[in-house]
Every structure is written in C-alpha cells, then in structure tokens.
Amino acid sequence: MMLFSLTDDDLAFREEVRAFLAEHLPPEWRGVSEMSSRPDRALIAEWIRRLAAQGWLTTGWPRRYAGRALTVTQRYLLDVELANARAPLLPNMELKMVAPLIARFGSEAQQDYYLPRILSGEDIWAQGFSEPEAGSDLASLRTTATRVDDGYVIDGRKIWTTNAHIATQFFCLARTDRDAVKPQRGISMFLLPMTTPGISVRPIRTIDGRHHFNEVFLDQVHVPSTALLGEENKGWNYAKALLENERLGIADVQPTRVLLSQVATVVALAREYDRPGFYRRLAQLEIDLESLEFLEFRAFENARLGTERGYEPSLLKLLGARVRQELLILGREALGTLAEAQSSPHAPRHASGAGEHFVNDSLFYRAMSIYGGSSEIQRELIARTVFSQGREF
Amino acid sequence: MAFSFSEDQDMFRDTLRRSLADQPRHGDVPTDPRDWRMAQMGALADLGVFAALLPETTGGLGLGPVEAMIIGEELGRAVLATPLIDTVALTGLLLIHAEQPGQHCDLLTGIIEGRVIGAFAGDAVLDPQSGFVTRQLGGSWRVTGTAPVVTFAPVAETIVLVGTVAGDTDSLAIFAVPADRVAHAVPFWTIDDLPAASIVLQDADLGQPFAVGAAAAAALAQGWDIALLMQAAELNGLMATLLNQTASHLRLRKQFGVSLSSFQALQHRFAEMVLAYQQSLALTHKAAWLFDAGSATEHGPLLWAMAAQAGQASRQIGHEAIQMHGAMGLTEELIVGPAVKRIVALEPRLGRAQFHVDRYASFLSSKAA
C-alpha cells in the first residue's frame, strides 16, 4: 500500500534505492533473516559495506564520515524498500545505537577507531546494562568501576546480554561514585574489547531453544582511562541518549510487516473451516500495523519539528510488541500441530521452515514486551506524561 | 510532504473550535421529534460548515477530505450531534456526483444556508434489516423494502433512498424523494436525541431514480467515503473530549487521600485509552490525506481500517471513561454521558466496527486468492 504522497526528490530517492537493490542484493540473500537460524555475520558485514558505500548509513555522523544527509522521509523509505526486498536485517545495535552514541559523545580517537569498524561490519557490540538485581530499575545497578592510576578496574555481573558470545566489543554502565546524591549521577559508561582479561561469558538458553542471551562476569577487569565514554559520572545521560536514538525505531516495524506477509501465506493455506476466523484476526492485526506505521512515521516528523508529546516511543513500543506477538501466535495457530513438524520429511512445504519460525519466535518474542522497558513501564510512562503535562488531546 | 495541515486548515480548525465552544450544547428537546430544530444550524452555516464540501459551482467552498475530517473532529470534540453527514455527504455530495446538480439547485442552496436537512435510507450491505428492491414498471419505478431507522427523516426535506435493481443485485438505483412521501407517520428519538422515522415501502411509486447502475454506484461511493471519513473524525473528536475529561478527573478526584491518577491500575488502563485513540487518529489522518491525494484504490481499504479502529477505540474509551468517573459517568450532568451516547448511536450508522474488520478480512483473503 502506498504510504503517502512523495515529493519528486523522495520519488527519485526511492527509485535509486530500488535500482541499487536490483543490482546489489543477490536473490539468495533475500529472506535470509526470516528463518530462525540467523544469517552468518560475514554476509551481514558485506551487506553493511554495500549500503555504507551508498552513504546511506551515516546520516548524523561527524562530517569526516558523513555520507548523505537523508531526510526523515528518505530514511523511512529506505527501511520500507529494504523490508519489501526482504533484504538481510541490519543490526540495530551497531548501526542505530552504538554508532550514533560514539558519534555524539565519543572522543575523536574513539570515533576514529570504532566508527570505521562498524561501517565495515567487522565489530559486533554487546550492551552491558541489565544486572541480576537491576532490571526495569536500571539505576540501582551494582557493577563498579574503581579509579586506579592508569584507568579503572571494573567488577560486577551483567545479564541478558544479547550477542555477548559472538561480540567483539562491549559497552557497559558501571558505578563510579557510590556517594552520589542520586543513584543515576554516579554512573559512567565504558567501551572495551570483549577480549579484555577478566571478562567471562556464560550462555543462557531461552525456551525457544536458541542462544540469544548471556550472563557476563566482570572480574577485576582493568581498562585504560580512554575506555571511558565522555565524562565520568555522566553515563546515565549517555544511556538515555542511546535510548533516544533507538526509541523511535524500537517498535521494529518493518520486520513485522515482513512477518505479516508470512503469516498471511500460512493463513491462506489453513483449513477452510478455520480460515474466516483467522482472516478476521489477520485483518485486525494489519489494521493495527497500518496505524503503527503511521504513528511511527509521525513520531519521526514530530521529533524533527519538536512537537512531540513525549510518550510517542512508549506508544510505539507497546503497540509494536503487541502486534509482533499476536502475529506470531496467529501464525503458530494457523499451522496447528504442523508448526512443530518442520524437521519431519513429511511436513508440507509451507510448514517447513515457517513452522520452527512461528513456534520459536512466538516464544522468544514474549521478550519484546519485556526488553527496552516492559509494557508495564511504557503504560506508566504514557499515563504519567499525560497527567503531569496537562496538555489537551 | 503532504502529511501536515496547511495554515488555512489550522485556521479553519481554530475558528471552528472557538465558535463551537461558544455554542450552547443543550437545546430544549421537544416532545415531538417533528419539532426538532438544531439551535446551532444558522451558526454552523455561517461558519461555512455546510458549504465547505460542496463544489464552488454549486455555491459551496469546494474544500476536500482533509477539511471534512477537521469539521468532523471539531463537531465530535464539541459533542454536537448535527445532520451534517446525512445532509452534506449522503444527500448533497451524492446528488452532485450523480452529475445532476442542476436538478437540485434549490436543495443545494438550502443545504448551504443551513435551511435544508437531508436524510439517507437503505443499504442492505450494512444492515440486513435495511434495504430496498426497485423495479421498473413502464414509465415508473416501484420500490419495496424497509429502513427501520432513518435519522432526520421527520425533519428532512429530501430523503436519498438507495435500492438494488430487481434481477440484478449488483446494480443500484438512487432516488431523491420528498421526505413526507415516504417517512412513516410515527417518528421517534434515537439514543443521541435525534429525530428518526422508519420507512416501509410496498410497491411504492417513487417516479424516476436520479441515478442507476454505474452512475449510482459511483455517486454512492463518493458520498459514502466522505461520510465514513467524517464519522470516524467525529468519533475521534468525541474520544479527545472523553480523554481530556477523564484525565482531568483522575488528576483532581481524591480518594483514600490521594489523587486517582496515582493508582497504577488506572494509569495502565488510561494508557491503553491513549493508544487506542492515537491509532484511530493515525488511520483517520492517513486515510484523509490519501483520499485528498485522489488515489481511490489506495484509500478504500484504509477507510475500512479507519472505521474499524474508530469504532472499537471509541467504544473502549467511552466505557472506560464511565468506569473511571464512577456513577457520575452514568448521568447527563457531565459531558461523559452524552458523549458516550453519541458514540453508541453514531458508530453503527455507517457499519459496525466488526463489519469493517470483516470487509478488510475479505479484502485480504481475495488478495491471497
């Protein structure tokens, strides 16, 4: 469905993206991110390099790295075209979170070291925020960084660390001032290689049978002063800015759009008796997704114009998680017991692959209403913002 | 980027909002529905509300779907039940799109000046209880069928009546008939305090239809789409008022020594109301803009999505607003009660939310087939 009326520049940009995809996205790469087994990092790295060569990934970076300054609409169009082409999913952690963070707060040396490595796809980053005793209440984190002559010694435990088992770099929050007036004010942020002595990783298996999460132990991890991002005790601000970078994209809408078309395929093949009920649910979810897409687009526009209400990211997160989770359940249900038959040689074609996808993802994406601020936190943020602002609807 | 309001549109909205806020909302409700008069008709006409959507060639202002949406939103916000949708979208625009404006000059002038009210009867697609079958008999057309609830019929000058052509259910015929010729003698009130009457016809001679077949279908679609958009917009306006009222109530009302807004259960439910409203608003704005861009094939399904969401969201917000206001929400003392009544009455008039979801579902399944 066409989304909106575009200017001639936007249309030209879209044509450019389409032409690029026709030439540079090999057919066998299409859809590689859709199965439960994720594509290998070498492929992703190559894909990042091809897009980076167009200058499309560096809007907002320091001038010496900046490619093209894409408008909000153009970035949105790029996302839509990539999703429509079923291009390999780009890693949000590196491109949408870490890179903007370092671009904004990092020293020139940190920028010159890390940013090219992100653009070449060679670095994978893991984020050390959550701890066993600090989940939604992140400010109560206990990991410490103690100043020593030539740097800091970090001690503590991080948990739910996605990709720590394959990551090359790590950024984490640690307490540098135990006596700060507010717990938020005594926290700093550090950037360090995963190979630093004292770091060990314990895998955490989740109920989808895959390995996403880890526990990361930091035992007397010695880092130089240059590992500090920005200023000491300002880490909380950087963490907030990081979430700002990602907050509008947190609903992860385009993959959900791809998922919807996969679920539609399965629903179309469901038993005739079940089909009307499934279609009704699919229709409801597509309606929700339509509204989510426009809410997301508008949130970007409002952010640019400075006319936000402040709770937009929470709306997106709440709805984005709901639509993703409901779609996966619908896909799983429409396949019925076939959903588990993917490894059987007798599984019908449409069930193989798709089956494991829906069952495992419907389990794993229960996490979507937990990570990045649980749905309960989002609801509270929305209500509090409305009640404290007193701004009319 | 077409997704923002022009300065003119913002001004139009501000003027409407200010003027409507000054209007007395409660008129005296007469005993007999035939005596119903909307006190604000003249004021609305002066604001250009009735002229806005009619083409300039007929004396209107020639404004489009975005303005239609703005008008709907502001009427909803003011909790003002008007005959605007029936009169402008389903009578005026429908006649104009059938390309016979010349025949209805007086009627259109009357509409623009706020003197003439139109009513609309019969669409079996929306309501199986409501529908007409027409057949040509020599030089005249005979119509048989029922429309149990035709809002504004007792006070309308003209009723636009739609029926299928006998023997060809895909073909439509549209009649514009004087209300007193078809409306049932005993009028009644709708739940939102509007006058209504049933129409029951048995082989009635309604003269010549003003449009048949493809012309009728095209005219109906045009009027219908604008009506649907205005209705969703009005529901959005009603939701906005309910949210404002509820937010302020939760902030100010104290129980157990603290403000209601400090209770997490209420915070979470209020957040869900905000989300439902924002979803509805997003779909309505998107539909209006696409409609304005003139891309009929694109905006069709989006209008159904919009209608479905507006219907569901307004119901949810209405009921939650009552719950959060406690027993006061059940009275006519606050704006909550009348707003919820308007929602309950308005939502099914152009198809219940479930109907639009189902329509969207058949669109999806036909796409897959």
Q: What is the pLDDT of residue B295?
A: 59
- Rounded average pLDDT over A59-71: 80
Which of A42-51, A62-71, A280-289, B348-357 has the highest mean predicted lDDT (pLDDT)?
A280-289
Give B 321-360 residues with CB within 8 A of chain A.
357-358, 360
Q: What is the pLDDT of residues A321-348, one digit of tens each?
A: 999 999 999 999 998 877 776 666 666 6
In the block, which residue shows the tokens 């007469």? B30
Q: What is the pLDDT of residue A70?
A: 85
Specify whether the CB–CB gap between A134 and A126 falls below 8 A: no
- Rounded average pLDDT over A226-241: 95
Band (pLDDT 50/70/90 cuts) for residue A301 is confident
Q: What is the pLDDT of residues A104-117, one digit of tens each?
A: 999 999 999 999 99
Residue of A nearest to B259 (CA): A387
Q: How far apart are CA A53 and CA A128, in angstroms?
A: 30
Specify whether the CB–CB gap between A326 and A289 falls below 8 A: no
Q: Are A380 and B308 within 8 A, CB to CB?
A: no
Statement: residue A351 has pLDDT above 80: no
With helix as H, strand as E and coil as C, how does chain B read?
A: CCCCCCHHHHHHHHHHHHHHHHCCCCCCCCCCHHHCCCCCHHHHHHCCCCCCCCCHHHCCCCCCHHHHHHHHHHHHHCCCCCCHHHHHHHHHHHHHHCCCHHHHHHHHHHHHCCCCCEEEECCCCCCCCCEEEEEEECCEEEEEEEEEEEECHHHCCEEEEEEEECCEEEEEEEEEEEHHHHECCCCEECCCCCEEEEEEEEEEECCCCCEECHHHHHHHHHHHHHHHHHHHHHHHHHHHHHHHHHHHHHHHCEECCEEHHHCHHHHHHHHHHHHHHHHHHHHHHHHHHHHHCCCHHHHHHHHHHHHHHHHHHHHHHHHHHHHHHHHHHHCCCCCHHHHHHHHHHHCCCCCCHHHHHHHHHHHHHHHHC
Out of A81, A131, A246, A293, the active site residue is: A246
What is the set of domains in chain B, with CATH numbers?
7-112 (1.10.540.10), 118-212 (2.40.110.10), 216-368 (1.20.140.10)
In the block, which residue shows the tokens 């409700």? B29
Is any Cβ of chain A less than 8 angstroms from the Cβ of B274? yes
Q: What is the pLDDT of residue A358?
A: 85
Reported ipTM: 0.93
Closest C-alpha among B63, B113, B65 to residue B87? B113
Q: Are A380 and B271 within 8 A, CB to CB?
A: yes
Q: Higher-confidence residue: B243 or A257?
A: B243
Q: What is the pLDDT of residue B251?
A: 96
Angle, alpha carbons A281-B284-B287 (nearest 5°) = 90
Angle, alpha carbons B245-B247-B253 (nearest 5°) = 90
Statement: residue A1 has pLDDT above 80: no
Q: What is the pLDDT of residue A3?
A: 45
Among A189-193, A386-390, B120-124, B200-204, which stretch is predicted with the lowest mean pLDDT? B120-124
Q: What is the pLDDT of residue A231?
A: 96
Residues in chain B: 369
Relative to beta strand A213-224, strand A199-204 is antiparallel
Contacts of A386 in chain B (CB under 8 A): 247, 270, 274
Band (pLDDT 50/70/90 cuts) for residue A36 is very low
Contacts of A334 in chain B (CB under 8 A): none
Q: Residue A244 class from Cβ within 10 Å (0-12 exposed, 13-18 middle, 19+ buried)?
A: middle
3-class state of residue A121 by DSSP: coil
Band (pLDDT 50/70/90 cuts) for residue A241 is confident
Min Cα distance A111 → chain B (Å) is: 34
Catalytic residue check, A23: no
Residue of A nearest to B369 (CA): A268
Specify whether the CB–CB gap between A151 and A224 falls below 8 A: yes
Low-confidence ranges of chain B (pLDDT < 50): 1
Specify whether the CB–CB gap between A165 and A213 falls below 8 A: no
Which of A41-45, A243-247, B298-302 has the highest mean predicted lDDT (pLDDT)?
A41-45
Buried b (16+ CB within 10 A) or exposed e, A112-124: ebbbeebbebebb
- Rounded average pLDDT over A97-103: 92
DSSP single-letter state for residue A172: E
Q: Are A315 and B240 within 8 A, CB to CB?
A: no
Which residues face A373 on adjacent strands? Answer: none
Statement: residue A286 has pLDDT above 80: yes
Which of B5, B13, B254, B275 to mutate: most A Cβ within 10 Å? B275
DSSP single-letter state for residue A228: B
Is any Cβ of chain A less than 8 angstroms from the Cβ of B293? yes
Residue of B nearest to A260 (CA): B364
Q: What is the pLDDT of residue A354?
A: 63
Q: What is the pLDDT of residue A343?
A: 60
pTM for this entry? 0.90
Min Cα distance A4 → chain B (Å) is: 7
Q: Residue A381 class from Cβ within 10 Å (0-12 exposed, 13-18 middle, 19+ buried)?
A: buried
